[in-house]
Structure 1
Amino acid sequence: MSRLEDLEAFIRIAETGSLTAAARRLGRSLQAVSRSLASLEDDVGVQLVHRTTRQSALSEAGHAFYQRVKPALLDIQEARLEAADRKSAPSGVLRIGAPTLFGPDFLVPIIADFMTAHPQVEIDLQLSDSFVDLAAEELDLVVRIADLPDSGLQGRRLGALRRVVFGAPSYFERHGRPARPTDLRQHACIVRTAAQRSDQWAFQIDGKTRRIGVRGAFRCNTMPGVYAAVSYGLGLGYSPLWQIRRLVETGQVQVILEDFEPKPVPIHALWRENKLPPAKVRAFVDLLAGQLRIEDL
């Protein structure tokens, strides 16, 4: 079986077109590279490189061999790097982006555990509800709540988040409970004015996603304002369940129309596309996936 250094020598010769250039790139002597090529050709039983005094060119068999060997060699090199990287403890600054409300409640407790386990890591947490560009913002990782297009990022699914309609007991006492999403047209609904299509609430009706237009006398540009208004019985709200869980647990609001909820929105941890994310990113994502445990929350 050919040695790894023989394959590396062949790849360099193929890419540089010269044994001398390949030797320089590998930091080996010309004689050593020549011996590696001869050993590889002897092993496969065919000439891979046509040699002249000035240059080297791949034979037909050499071209085919190069196409098969190059990806395999890259995988081997990547595996070597990953094995070496796993021996080193996570360190340095880990820059994380997350939604404004989600970060403090869900990420900070996990970050606290992570920093206790890895004292050589510093955390820079950036909270924003915009879809930030990782490279432009110099972030290592983002937590994103959305259906993801092909974004050129790698990621790991952490769970899914429910979207619900909710109201205060005092509102239901005065106005009753809607039985179907279409009944919302006769109810006061509180709309967040800063969000696009916030007056079009999504539901699953007869197996299909449909949007129902809603309106009401009270509107607000922030979700905390919407939640306060719903709590005081000014109308019904529409929100991710995790954002109102404390209101539900304390009985200030009640969830309705659960049989018509739209498909849960997935939540992912995302990082820039490369085959080997740094140890600090892998370690944090592993902890996040283990502790977050969000599924249809």
Structure 2
Amino acid sequence: MESLRDLLLFVTIAEEGSLTLAARRLGRSLQAVSRSLQLLELEAGVTLVQRTTRRLQLTPAGERFYARVKAILADLNMAKAELVEEARTIAGRLRISGPTLFGPRYLTPLISAFLARHPKVTIALDLADEFADPLDSGADVTIRIGETPVSGLTSRRLGMVRRVAFAAPAYLAARGRPARPADLAQHDCVLRLSQRDRWTFRQGGGTEEIVTVRGRFESNSVAALNQAVVAGLGIGVASFWQIRDLVEQGRVEVILAEYEPPPMPLQAMWPPTQRLPLRTRLLIDFLASRLARERL
């Protein structure tokens, strides 16, 4: 069966969306990476990655395989970290920065479990929607959904976050349901101040379509934007975990499902350092292991 090296290669390809970037990240040649992927698919008997001219995209089978393998690799890293933990007792203070909605729902329970394992560690959790450079904020670990906006930071990908377009049933009844992304030009959208008027959707075959949107409501608060959609002020785009409860309650509906926006990486970031403190490294390993099991 596949070696750990092959599984790590597949996860890297899935996360980078490019054979070239995966090869660069792993320090291997492009030819070696491409050949390993072909052998993995041949052994599995199924296509895992759909090749396009611009970007690689996982097939449904690839998505399922990625989720399982990602969790397995995270568990292995956690097992190694626990061996280190048995040999050394960690202590000290950690400061974590994260998004306002993600923090209470996911980070706080995980921090509680981590502190139960390490009674001599203390943690301060700082939450904000806008990204703060850890070199300025003083955070030991910054959790962010999205690409790294500051070069020079060290990062570790913890997972991929599904994003969807959504609207309230009352809004759709009054204004109609868009059939394709271009139809959004005829609709009101709720807009995040830092992103404004350009949304990206995925077309068939993995190509991306960028559409210009407009609306009457803008905010720098993710919670305010989601509630504005519930109130019928327009169509929104959000991480699915943010609105899962609203969907299940029937207060909003997912739209344009066949054109779902590209997923965003969930990352842990920290300032470059010659040697990461053990307590920081163990925390990052712990978050990676636990978040790999979440439906993000």
User: Which category of TM-score, normalised to the shorter sequence, fits these structures?
Assistant: 0.5 to 0.7
How many residues align structurally?
213
Q: Which residue is 1:202 aligned to?
A: 200
Q: Match for 1:177: what amino acid? A: R
- The residue number in structure 1 matching 2:121 is 121
1:76 is matched with which residue? none
Of the structure 1 ranges 106-115 and 140-149, higher mean CA displacement relative to structure 2 is found in 140-149
Q: Which residue of 1 aligns with 2:221?
A: 222
How far off is 1:92 after superposition? 0.4
The answer for the alignment partner of 1:270 in structure 2 is 269
The one-letter amino acid paired with 2:113 is: D
Secondary structure, counterpart of 2:188 in structure 1: coil
- Alpha-carbon separation, structure 1, partners of 2:151 and 2:191: 30
Is the contact between residue 129 and residue 220 of structure 2 (CA under 8 Å) also seen in structure 1? no
- Measured in 2, the distance between the counterparts of 1:229 and 1:84 equals 47
Check conservation: 1:264, 1:296, Cα contact below 8 A: no
Q: Distance in 1 between matches of 2:224 and 2:149?
A: 31
Post-superposition offset of 1:244: 1.8
CA shift in 2, pair 1:84/1:245, >3 Å: closer
Helix, strand or coil at the partner of 2:110: helix
The alignment yields a C-alpha RMSD, in angstroms, of: 2.5
Question: Once the 2 structures are TM-superposed, how far is the Cα of residue 292 of structure 1 from its aligned partner?
Answer: 1.4
Q: Quote the residue 2:72 is aligned against.
A: none
Mapped partners of 2:86, 2:271: distance in 1: 19
Following superposition, the deviation at residue 203 of structure 1 comes to 0.9
Compared with structure 1, are the counterparts of its residues 168 and 131 closer, same or farther at alpha carbon in structure 2 (3 Å cutoff)?
Answer: closer
Residue 163 (structure 1) aligns with: 163
Aligned to 1:3: none
Counterpart amino acid of 2:234? G
Query: How do 1:67-86 residues align onto structure 2 when only pairs under 5 Å count?
Result: none
Displacement after TM superposition at 1:217 (Å): 3.8
Q: Distance in 2 between matches of 1:294 and 1:251?
A: 26
Quickly say closer, same or farther: Cα 1:135–1:226, change in 2 above 3 A. closer
Q: 1:134 to 1:250 in 2, by over 3 A?
A: same
Contact kept, 8 Å, 2:241 with 2:295, in 1: the verdict is no
Is 1:90 paired with 2:90?
yes
Q: Which residue of 2 aligns with 1:142?
A: 142
Q: Sort the Cα spacing of 1:251 and 1:148 in 2 relative to 1 into closer, same or farther, 3 A.
A: same
Structure exhibiting the larger radius of gyration computed from Cα positions: 1
Classify 1:226/1:146 alpha carbon distance in 2 versus 1 (closer, same or farther; 3 Å): closer
Structure 1 unmatched ranges of 5 or more? 1-82
Cα deviation 1:256-294 (Å, max 9, x = unaligned): 112212321111112232353212112211211121126
CA shift for structure 1 position 231: 1.2
Distance in 1 of aligned mates of 2:87 and 2:270: 21
Contact between 1:178 and 1:184, CA under 8 Å: does it hold in 2? yes
User: Is 1:153 matched up with 2:133?
Assistant: no
Contact 2:162 2:262 in 1 (8 A): yes
Task: Give the conservation status (yes or no) of the 8 Å contact 2:129–2:222.
Answer: no
TM-score by length of 2: 0.65
In the superposition, relative to structure 1, how do residues 272 and 107 fare at CA in structure 2: closer, same or farther (>3 Å)? same
Report the CA distance shift for 1:168/1:114 in structure 2 as closer, same or farther (over 3 A). same
Deviation at 1:149, TM superposition (A): 6.3
- State the distance in 2 between where 1:223 and 1:149 align: 18
Show the counterpart of 2:237.
238
In the TM superposition, residue 220 of structure 1 has moved relative to its aligned partner by 4.2
Q: Encode CA deviations 1:145-204: one digit per residue, 9 max, x unaligned.
A: 222368333332111112211011222223331110011112222223x223x2211112
**Between the two proteins, what is the percent identity of the paired residues?**
45
Gaps of 5+ in 2: 1-82
Separation of aligned partners in 1, 2:218 and 2:84:
56
Distance 1:237 1:130 in 2: 18
Would you say 1:175 and 2:175 are equivalent positions?
Answer: yes
